[in-house]
Amino acid sequence: MFACPVPLVILVTTLLSWTVQAQLDCPPQPDCTGSPLPFRRVDGSCNNPAYPSRGTPYRPYLRLVGAHYADGVSEPAHTESGVAMPNARKLSLALFGETEMEHPRHTLVSMQFGQLIAHDMSFTADADGIQCCAGGKMVPREQASSRCLPIEVATDDPVMSENGVECMNLVRTKTTLEDPCPQPEGNGGAAEQLSSVTAFLDLSVVYGNSLSQSNDLRSFTDGKLRVEQRHGKHWPPQHPNVTTKCDVESATDVCYLTGDERSNQSPHLTLLHMAFLLEHNRLAEELSGINAEWDDERLFQEARRINIAQYQSIVYYEWLPLYLGRNNMIAHGVLPETNTVDHVRDYDPDVDPSVSNAFATAAFRFFHNLIAGHLDLVEESMQPTGSIRLSDWLDKPALLEMDGKYEGLSRGMTTQPHDRPNFHLSPEVKHFLFRRGRPVGVDLKAIDIQRARDHGLASYNDYREHCGLPRVTGWEDFRELLRPVSAPLLPMQYTHVDDVELAVAGALERHDGDGMPGETFNCILLDQFRRTRVGDWFFFENGNTFTARQLHEIRKASMGRLLCDNTVGMTKMQRQAFFLVTESNPVVPCSELPAPNLVRWRS
């Protein structure tokens, strides 16, 4: 007998109810009445009233080059011959080394600051709790989620197979195909991945990405953010979901609540989160003394605005030139052509500041090879007294509240060099990342490669063409583009030059101009940071947010002074915190480092 079909009226009613529920769950379109507002909205909306949703959370990444999927919709790309791409873990092992080599000039805090920036601008919208690879074993296909894209581990893997690991978990990023909410500017038929944070350099890692999230972080007293006091220090508040967000043994263990879920990932990252949190409260307190009539809301918004402005100044004038090169930045409009004490009035409402998929998923991940595997502990005398293993303390922020670790690690990240920018990654992130007490963890480079496939990034050649660079037509062309040891290895992994991936070859290029990355990654990075600046109405120096005198004070901000002001026990610092201590960059008392004078904010 045939089963009785579902009555049409029930089916239609069910579909309508799903549609209504989806509409109820979708955020309303931003109301930009009265824009531009005096303060940027925490969700990034109405930065540009003509495109009110640009830069807001749960928007698609921007495509510089059309998506490349095997089926034109969402299936990860195949090779030119139609077979699966080379295994991501095998590519990592074959093409990327694992020798740690110290950088001769830059401190570890400069690498760590890069991760904070990356988290501020982008966070792939994933699904928590989905297991594609459980306990190192592949979940059977019939039981696995359609979101699964695990990385297989070969039986002869030199590290993981010896520990019984057969795969690494990877859940596909949520896309416009799964999101019931219509995107304001449309997205066509191919899957476009969603970022769950604002695209602006707005310290969303501190303040959150929605009004409700921001409100959870505020004390609503004197304009300050919430803190808890222990051991003579202020700490971020305790996370309400400790056991799911941190690697802990009980719900009472330390796990911090901040504007970003990833803030507990590593000790140094947590320290930077704390510095900007405490800087907000320091600014609010000083502003309160200057303007006694200001209420909590005014103090909060003004302190937030100054905090973000100082951060933006550090990003563009102190940090980015180290990695992208000042000459490169000027040539591509990332920085103005000449130093100026005036406003830089080049805001362009036609520029889309959205984060590009290639930037977030490939080019900005170049800096993963700067990660150091061990973190130094340094005494007040500036002498190292030991170190900790990075993989032992991922998602375990309680370390910072142990005797001397907060101070020792804070000094360590400003005196220890990060790794050299080459094709090597620390074993701590190549074999042991997020191992959570197990013998091995996951491979960060393999995840980078697999994530780029998940996001449908076009080939290395396609991005070169987009950047106005010549396409690679034969394997011999790579000898001029890549590091010498890398070029001969590519044809052993790929059968056609058009199969070579951006996440692979881009990370192996020789450095370009006065920047660290190669010319293809530099093109993508420079494009992003130009659009991030000129496409942000609230950017600190474009004349829409600060007076000329206030701008002069903001430009005094530095990473060294910010760490000095917000790290208990920090009494001295080299003048340029992103550079190692030298005769030309000596350690001085913190009081000698310039600091913005908030008297310019007296109302």
Calpha distance 272→277 (Å, rounded): 9
Of 362, 344, 377, the closest CA to residue 462 belongs to 362
Contacts of 595 (CB under 8 A, 6+ apart): 556, 557, 561, 565
Structure-derived torsion over alpha carbons of residues 453, 457, 459, 461, reported in degrees to the nearest 10? -150
Of 212, 197, 206, 201, the closest CA to residue 274 belongs to 206
Question: Which H or E run includes 234?
Answer: strand 233-235
How far out from the chain centre does Cα 40 lie?
Answer: 21
Of 171, 148, 168, 172, the closest CA to residue 443 belongs to 168
Tell me the binding residues.
368
- Is the distance from CB of 222 to CB of 213 less than 8 angstroms? no
Is 332 designated active site? no
Q: Which residue has the tokens 């030298």?
A: 582
Read off the tokens for 93.
């092992």
Read off the tokens for 203.
């310290």
Calpha distance 118→123 (Å, rounded): 8
| C-alpha pair distances (Å), 334 with each of 271, 315, 418 | 28, 11, 25
Of 551, 580, 512, 458, the closest CA to residue 72 belongs to 458
Q: Which residue has the tokens 């600046």?
A: 533
Tell me the binding residues for heme b.
368
Residue 59: DSSP 8-state? E
Could you say which of 68, 103, 106, 119 is catalytic?
A: 119
Contacts of 514 (CB under 8 A, 6+ apart): 325, 326, 327, 328
Q: What share of the chain is helix, strand, coil (3-state, %, to 5)?
A: 40, 10, 50
User: Does the N-terminal peptide bond of residue 589 adopt cis geometry, omega within 30 degrees of 0?
Assistant: no
Calpha distance 575→593 (Å, rounded): 7
Using DSSP, state whether 551 is helix, strand or coil: helix
Adjacent-strand bridge partners of 168: 151
Burial tier of 170 (Cβ tally within 10 Å: 0-12, 13-18, 19+): buried
Calpha distance 434→436 (Å, rounded): 5
Amino acid letter at 173? T
The CA-based angle 129-427-424, given to 5 degrees, is: 115
Question: Which H or E run includes 378?
Answer: strand 374-378
Read off the tokens for 538.
């609230």
Active site residues: 119
